Structure 1
Amino acid sequence: MPNSRNTPAPTDSSNTADLPTATVRTRVTVPLRFGDGCTVTADLVAFHSLADGQEHVAVILGPSNPGQTALVRLHSECLTGDVFGSARCDCGPQLSEAVERIAATGGVLLYLRQEGRGIGLYNKLDAYALQDQGLDTYEANAALGLAEDARDYTAAAQMLAALGIGELDLLSNNPDKAAQLGTLGVTVRERVPTGVFTTAHNVRYLRAKVLQTQHTLPLTELTAG
C-alpha cells in the first residue's frame, strides 16, 4: 500500500482563479448499489452554470460533520471501468473504494464527465488500439495528437464552492488534482492515496502513471494480482 497520507506542496495564492459562481440546481436522495455488493444511500446534486457546460454530479455520502474537514474524491467518468468492469484500468475498484471510504466518514465524491482523461470515449478506444500495439497510455494519446491528460478541474472547484467546501482531504493518487484545486482556491489539507488495484491487464497502465505523471503508487507492488 502507498503511504497513508501525503501533504501537498503549498500553492501560490496569487494564481488563485476568480471562479464564476455555480449554484445547486437539484438535490435528491438515491439508494446506490455497486457491482462489488456495496450499497449506500447518497444525495446526488446537480448544478447550474458550471464552466465547461458538462453535467457533472456531486455524490454526498455519509454523516454530516460540521467543522470536520470533508473527504473528497474527484472521480473522472470511465464507462468501460465503472459500468462494464474493464480490467484494463483501476477506475471501477477506485470508484467503489471511494464510495465506501467517504460513506464511512462523511464527504463528497464528484463524478466528473471526463472520459479518458478528458479525450472522450471514442478517442479512448482509439488509444486502447494503439496500446495493443505497444504504446503506453500517454504515448497513445500523443500519437493521436491529443493531450496526455486534458482534464481541467475548474468545474470541480465551482461545485465544491456551491456545496460550501473550501478545505478538504483529497482521496487521490494524482498530484495534479491537488495542484489544480490549490490554484483554483481550494485548500487541500492532505492528499490521501487510494488502494492499489492490479490485474493482469492494467499493470503497465499503472506503472505508466507512476513514471509519467508521478502518481503515488508503489512500483514494487505493481505486479499482476
Structure 2
Amino acid sequence: MPKAIESEDIAESTLVTRRGTFRAVAFRDGGAEHLAMVYGNPGADSDVLVRVHSECMTGDLFGSTRCECGEQLEAALDAIVDEGGGILIYLRGHEGRGIGLVAKIRTHILQDEGLDTVDSATSLGFPVDIRDYGPAAHVLGHLGVRSVRLMSNNPDKISALEAHGIRVAARVPLLAPPSQDNIRYLTAKRDRLGHDLPQLDHFAGK
C-alpha cells in the first residue's frame, strides 16, 4: 500500500483551466512540492487514466523542441479530458531525469558537441536516472486510486509504481512526432533507456 500523505502536506482546490475544471491537489513529498490535476470523478474501482509527468521547464514552459516533454504534457491533458476523467501528476525535482536544471543545461552543451542524453549526464558524474516515483504512488493512494492505465512510453515507470503498491493495468502509449531537433534524443531513449518509441522507425528525416 502507498504510504499516507500527512494532512499538513496537502491542499486541494478547484482550478478552472482552458480545458475545463480540474481539482488541483498540491502535496509535499520527497523534499519537493508536486501537483495532481484530477479531472472528473475517477473511481477506485476503475483503471484510471493517469499520466505521471516529470518536470521539464524547458519543454513544458518554453516549448523546447530538443525533447518531447511539452507535447506529452499537452497530449496527456487532452486525453484525460477526452476520456471524461483521469489524473495528471506533475512531479517536480525531476528535471533532467533528476539531475536538476543547471546540470541539464550543461548536458545540452555536451549534446551539441556530439554526446547523447545518457553520456552527457554520466560524463558530468550523474547517474542515468535518479527520479523517484514514490510521490506519485502516494498521492494516488490518497485519492483512493489503486489501479491505473498509465500514459507512458517508459516501462520503468510501470515497475516503479507497482513497487509502491499501484497496479498498472495497461500502458497507454504517448507518442510525439519526431523532428530533426529531437531525433537523436528520442533514439537514445529508445536504444539506451528502453523506451517504446515505434514512431521513430518511420521518421523520414533520419
* Per-residue deviation, 1:190: 0.4
- Tell me which residue corresponds to 2:176: 196
Deviations 1:63-97 (A, max 9, x none): 32433221000000111001000000000110000
1:23–1:162 CA contact under 8 A, matched in 2: no
Shift in CA distance, 56/222, structure 1 to aligned 2, threshold 3 Å: farther
- Tell me which residue corresponds to 2:150: 170
Distance in 2 of aligned mates of 1:190 and 1:216: 14
The one of the two structures with greater contact order (alpha-carbon pairs below 8 A, sep at least 6) is: 1
- Tell me which residue corresponds to 1:45: 25
What amino acid is aligned across from residue 76 of structure 1 in structure 2? Answer: S
Q: Could you tell me the percent identity over the aligned residues?
A: 43
1:112 to 74, 91, 95: 91
Matches within 5 A, 1:1-225: 19-23=2-6, 25-33=10-18, 39-48=19-28, 50=29, 52-61=30-39, 63-66=40-43, 67-105=45-83, 106-113=85-92, 114-218=94-198, 219-224=200-205
- Normalised by the size of structure 1, how large is the TM-score? 0.84
Provide the aligned length of Structure 1 versus Structure 2.
200
Deviations 1:110-140 (A, max 9, x none): 0001111111111100000100110000010
- Normalised by the size of structure 2, how large is the TM-score? 0.91
Deviations 1:49-71 (A, max 9, x none): x2x1210110112x324332210
In the alignment, structure 1 segments of 5+ residues that lack a partner are: 1-17, 34-38
In the alignment, structure 2 segments of 5+ residues that lack a partner are: none
